[in-house]
């Protein structure tokens, strides 16, 4: 047994659109019916599946960055220490004394040398990346643009196909309703006349009933 049935209650190409007053009255009747039924419109129907609430999770570093931006939105990223790539200041010279006589100074020189190696590797890698970008960056950019254009063309073609399907459905819907509009109007007029005759019959029957009652009362007196 299907859950959804095809309905033709709404015929936009046949029915006359209701005016504002009629729509307000109909909406008031629907609201009154909902209140009488005790339906809570603030909550979804139990038969509808509720979507699970998505709670994002972030790493500690991202959480710290969020807190930093909340405190000062204009602050800059502090996760990477750029001082190691800046110009290094050489420690003081040990001449004429020897390094063995001042081990703390020797440690400072070793640390400065390691930082110099790190900075040199960074600069060398940066130069390599810039040279690759200069050599292949233009072609990679053009290829990326071409791929994006292909994706865009595919999306536009899909959108055009969906619009065409929508237009076909609307045309079919309009033609079907136009074909039966005369029959629907005839049936509606016939129904209205039938209802009118039923009301007239009921009024005549009620009048006849009152006459019979009146004659019975007169005869009883």
First vs last C-alpha separation in the chain:
66
Nearest CA to 66 out of 54, 55, 79, 53 is that of 79
pLDDT of residue 216: 86
Length of the chain: 221
Contact 91, 112 (CB under 8 A): yes
Maximum Cα–Cα distance for the chain, whole Å? 151
pLDDT of residue 113: 85
Collect the ranges in the chain with pLDDT lower than 70. Answer: 1-10, 78-87, 93-101, 221
CB neighbours of residue 85 within 10 Å: 15
79-94 pLDDT, tens per residue? Answer: 666 666 666 777 776 6
Contact 72, 66 (CB under 8 A): no
Which residue reads 């040279």 in tokens?
131
pLDDT of residue 151: 95
């Amino acid at each position: 047994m299907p859950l959804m049935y095809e309905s033709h209650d709404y015929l936009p190409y046949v029915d006359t659109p209701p005016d504002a007053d009629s729509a307000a009255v109909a909406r008031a009747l629907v609201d009154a019916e909902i209140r009488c039924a005790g339906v809570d419109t603030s909550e979804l129907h139990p038969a509808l599946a509720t979507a699970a609430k998505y709670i994002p999770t972030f790493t500690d570093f991202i959480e710290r960055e969020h807190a930093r931006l909340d405190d000062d939105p204009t602050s800059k990223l502090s996760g990477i220490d750029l001082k190691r790539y800046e110009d290094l200041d050489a420690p003081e010279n040990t001449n004429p004394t020897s390094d063995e006589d001042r081990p703390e100074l020797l440690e400072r020189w070793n640390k400065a040398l390691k930082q110099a190696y790190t900075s040199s590797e960074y600069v060398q890698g940066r130069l390599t990346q810039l040279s690759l970008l200069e050599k292949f960056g233009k072609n990679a950019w053009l290829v990326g643009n071409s791929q994006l254009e292909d994706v865009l063309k595919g999306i536009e073609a899909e959108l055009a196909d969906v619009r065409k399907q929508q237009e076909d459905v609307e045309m079919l819907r309009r033609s079907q309703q136009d074909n039966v509009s005369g029959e629907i109007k005839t049936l509606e007029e016939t129904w209205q006349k039938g209802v009118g005759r039923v009301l007239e019959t009921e009024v005549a029957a009620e009048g006849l009933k009152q006459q019979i009652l009146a004659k019975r009362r007169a005869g009883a007196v």
